[in-house]
Each structure stands twice: as structure tokens, then as C-alpha cells.
């Protein structure tokens, strides 16, 4: 089994693959101050609950947008499994032609998404990732990474709104009851969900216009299932796209 790790700003997502098949997947909260010992305890507890035998893990690959915890988490994984994760962008390079003006500026998670989406759906393909940031990434028919767009994600927008407006109540991002809210929580939910759906559809419309062929639109990230209901351009949801992309890169590397 291969352990695949996606270190994000909010969560660390992990999966165990056998070939191209996901056997198990789980996540833990990103703690930027945690020690290797603390992460090892958390991972050990997760492995026990999921009935994972450490001896079955024969390799590991990771990508990260939180560089400060890379060594700490890598040490935790090695201490637990005796396998040091290969980090995308450092130990292993995503096998995709990157046409960014400054290729090093593209997040490794976005390159993993791009490679995974191209392998799963072909090209051209647009990946909409509803994570801490809402990102749009465009991959050509030839499998080239053409570039992307970055917007604060809906969850971040919600947290910022509540933090900076004293009278607004705490709430979670869920399906609004109606377009026109008749109390504060529903007004906020409607504004976020419908507002972001209009944003997504508008950006996708402009991206489609840049391509000769109609692209596949693939959504991933925590809010993908919710937001895809309100975004008619989104036909496919790949909840584990980053992990699948990393696994494909590992398979090709080996």
C-alpha cells in the first residue's frame, strides 16, 4: 500500500492506495504548532481506528501548502511507518508541462490536481477546487498546465465576515432555504452560496471562451458537493482528486 498525503491549510488529507484503488481515506486538522510526536500519536490513533497495519505501507508521497510543517510531519510518518514521504516539488516533480511565467509559484496541490484530472478525464479540463482558496486551473488538450485563478474560498469568506461583524451569528456553510433570506443566517447562507455560484459560473464562462474545444469541468474540495448543486457547468465531482493525482505521480515515478 502507498500512503498519499495532502497537507492543506485547514486539514491534512490522507489515503491508502493499492495501485489506483483507494482503500481507505481519512483526515486530521492541520496544526502548525504540533510536534512530530503529537502528529505521530494522532496518526497512530487514526491507523488503529481504521485497522491499518503499518507494515503494509511500502511508500509515501506528499504535497504541501504549509512548508513549515513538512519536516515535522515527514518525521512523524517515518517514525510510524519507516517510510519517508517524497514531497512533490522537492523530491519528485509533477510530470506536467507548466506554462506559468514563474512555474515555482504554482502550488504543488494544484499541479497534482491538474495531473490527476488530465489522467482521469483527458483534456482540456478545468479544475475548480473549493478549498481554503477557491482555485480554477486550466489544462490543455495536450496535458499542459496553462494557468489559473485564485479567489478566497467560501469558508474563508464566511469566517472573515463573522469575525469582522460583531452582530452576525456563527453559522456553517450549508444549503440555503431560499434565494431571498428572511432571517440573518439564511441571508448569509444565500449570499455566500448563490454569490459564489455566480462567481464560479462567470469565471468558467470566460475560461471556456479561451478554448477551441469544450472542456470538462471537474470540482473538488470540501464545498464541492454543495456548490456543484448551484453551478450547472460542473458535471463531475472528484472529492479525492489531489490524492489521486499524487498517487498517479508516484506510480509513474516508480
The residues assigned a catalytic role are 109
Is the separation of the CB atoms in 27 and 16 below 8 Å?
no
What's the rounded Cα separation, in Å, for the pair 59 and 109?
Answer: 19
Is the separation of the CB atoms in 100 and 119 below 8 Å?
no
Written as one string, the DSSP assignment of 165-186 is -TTPPP------S-SS-SSHHH
DSSP secondary structure code for residue 106 in this structure = S
Burial class (CB in 10 A: 0-12, 13-18, 19+), 17: buried
Backbone Cα Rg of the chain? 19
3-state helix, strand, coil in the chain (%, to 5): 40, 25, 35
Closest residue by Cα to residue 203 from 234, 160, 159: 234
Strand 236-237 vs strand 2-7: parallel, antiparallel, or unpaired? Answer: unpaired
Length of the chain: 254
CB atoms within 10 A of CB 200: 24
- 248 φ, ψ to 5°? -60, -40
Triad 175, 129, 217: Cα angle to 5°: 90
Amino acid at each position: 500500500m502507498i500512503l498519499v498525503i495532502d497537507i492543506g491549510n485547514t486539514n491534512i488529507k490522507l489515503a491508502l492506495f493499492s495501485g489506483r484503488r483507494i482503500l481507505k481515506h481519512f483526515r486530521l486538522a492541520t496544526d502548525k504548532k504540533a510536534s512530530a510526536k503529537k502528529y505521530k500519536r494522532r496518526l497512530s490513533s487514526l491507523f488503529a481506528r481504521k485497522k491499518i497495519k503499518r507494515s503494509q505501507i511500502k511508500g509515501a508521497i506528499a504535497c504541501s501548502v504549509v512548508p513549515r510543517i513538512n519536516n515535522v510531519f515527514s518525521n512523524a510518518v517515518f517514525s510510524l511507518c519507516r517510510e519517508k514521504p517524497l514531497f512533490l516539488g522537492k523530491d519528485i516533480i509533477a510530470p506536467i508541462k507548466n506554462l506559468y511565467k514563474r512555474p515555482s509559484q504554482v502550488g504543488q496541490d494544484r499541479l497534482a490536481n491538474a495531473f490527476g484530472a488530465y489522467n482521469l478525464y483527458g483534456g482540456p479540463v478545468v479544475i475548480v477546487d473549493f478549498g481554503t482558496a477557491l482555485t480554477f486551473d486550466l489544462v490543455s488538450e495536450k496535458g499542459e498546465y496553462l494557468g489559473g485563478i485564485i479567489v478566497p474560498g467560501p469558508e474563508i469568506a464566511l469566517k472573515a465576515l463573522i469575525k469582522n461583524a460583531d452582530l452576525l451569528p456563527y453559522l456553517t456553510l450549508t444549503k440555503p432555504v431560499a434565494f431571498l433570506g428572511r432571517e440573518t443566517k439564511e441571508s448569509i447562507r444565500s449570499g455566500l452560496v448563490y454569490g459564489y455560484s455566480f462567481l464560479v459560473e462567470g469565471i468558467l464562462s470566460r475560461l471556456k471562451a479561451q478554448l477551441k474545444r469544450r472542456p470538462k469541468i471537474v470540482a473538488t474540495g470540501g464545498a464541492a458537493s454543495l456548490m456543484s448543486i448551484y453551478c450547472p457547468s460542473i458535471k463531475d465531482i472528484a472529492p479525492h482528486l489531489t490524492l489521486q493525482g499524487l498517487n498517479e505521480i508516484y506510480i509513474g515515478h516508480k
